[in-house]
Amino acid sequence: MPEKFKLGVLTPSSNTALEPLTHAIVAGLPNVSVHFARFKVTEISLGAASSGQFDDSHILAAADLLADARVDVIGWSGTAAGWLGFEKDVLLAERIEAHTGIAATTAILALNELLALRGATRLGIVSPYTADVQQRIVGNYRAAGIEVVAETHEGISVNHDFAALAPQLLQQRIAQVAAAAPQAIVTYCTNLRAAQLAAEVEQQTGIPLLDTVSTTVWGMLRKIGVPTQQVKGWGRLYGWE
């Protein structure tokens, strides 16, 4: 087992939240470092141009750059499979692994694994997305046997602008969906400054907060055999095995 684990994270080009949050989450793990590669993502919508941003060829090119750093795992810290279909990330992880020889996961694959571990069938979602994107996400979870019992969305399509949403606003939105008593709440976007809210939200509501920046880290650590309970102060998901 190597003394130092290198996490390779695929990042939307216009994202400014996930990199500092990811570094902060693993800051207490002296044997873990994080390395990033970007590919172009500027808009989130159901249009063809937006969907084309997530073509596997763009993502595999970025994964190649992470492979040059000899990372131990590659994680796609993005939520596009939420509206494009969960199977997209299943295939993407397989293609990254075949292309680079490096284990791979994604924010959504890890999130859905966490929901399965908890046996969650009632979900709350807080996102910055437009109504049609949000409804596609809700529909995909319904098809998977998980009912979204409460959701909020901000109607924003410019990816860069998601990070400008204040954590205080996100706390208000989380409180709104918590009122429906879901089994878990997801802050569903990796360009939200929300991961750091988990401990406080969980203390106040008793409901796990599964932020998608955190689910990416959880999935990567799990892939390389680093016990996730070593991450302290970032929510109950760390330690779910």
Higher-confidence position of 1 and 187: 187
pLDDT at 52: 83
Q: Are residues 100 and 151 in the same domain?
A: no
Strand order from edge to edge, sheet including 73-76: 32-39, 5-12, 73-76, 103-106
Q: Residue 2 burial by CB count (10 A; 0-12/13-18/19+): exposed, middle or buried?
A: exposed
Crossing angle of helices 56-68 and 86-100, rounded to 10°: 40
> Would residue 127 count as lying in a domain?
yes
Question: How confident is the model over 19-34, as a mean pLDDT?
Answer: 97
Per-residue pLDDT for 118 more than 70?
Answer: yes
Q: Are residues 100 and 121 in the same domain?
A: no
Q: Are residues 193 and 223 in the same domain?
A: no
Q: Are residues 219 and 206 in the same domain?
A: no
pLDDT at 45: 87
For the stretch 82-102, pLDDT in tens is: 999 999 999 999 999 999 999
> Would residue 172 count as lying in a domain?
yes
Q: Are residues 187 and 162 in the same domain?
A: yes
Cα separation, 8 vs 6, whole angstroms: 6
> Would residue 238 count as lying in a domain?
no
Nearest 5 degrees, angle CA 118-CA 124-CA 129?
130
CATH number at residue 48: 3.40.50.12500
Q: Are residues 87 and 166 in the same domain?
A: no
Cα separation, 70 vs 103, whole angstroms: 11
> Would residue 10 count as lying in a domain?
yes
C-alpha distance across the termini of the chain, in Å: 20
Q: Are residues 86 and 166 in the same domain?
A: no
> Would residue 40 count as lying in a domain?
yes
Name the pLDDT band for 11 (thresholds 50, 70, 90): very high
Q: Are residues 103 and 130 in the same domain?
A: no
For the chain, give me the number of helices (H) and strands (E)?
Answer: 10, 8
Range of the domain at 158: 110-210
Q: Which residue has the tokens 């992880």?
A: 93
Per-residue pLDDT for 132 more than 60?
Answer: yes
Q: Are residues 101 and 159 in the same domain?
A: no
> Would residue 195 count as lying in a domain?
yes
Cα separation, 145 vs 87, whole angstroms: 15
Name the pLDDT band for 2 (thresholds 50, 70, 90): low
CATH number at residue 177: 3.40.50.1860
Question: How confident is the model over 125-145, as a mean pLDDT?
Answer: 98
Per-residue pLDDT for 40 more than 50?
Answer: yes
Q: Are residues 42 and 59 in the same domain?
A: yes
Go through 72-105 and write b for each residue having 16 or more CB atoms within 10 A of its CB, e for each that does not. bbbbbbbbbbbbbebebbeebbebbbebbebbbb
Q: Are residues 70 and 187 in the same domain?
A: no
Range of weakest confidence among 130-134, 167-171, 195-199, 237-241: 237-241
> Would residue 235 count as lying in a domain?
no
Q: pLDDT over 90 for what percent of the chain?
A: 90
> Would residue 165 count as lying in a domain?
yes
Map residue 45 onto helix, strand or coil.
Answer: coil
pLDDT at 1: 46
Q: Are residues 103 and 218 in the same domain?
A: yes
The total domain count for the chain is 2
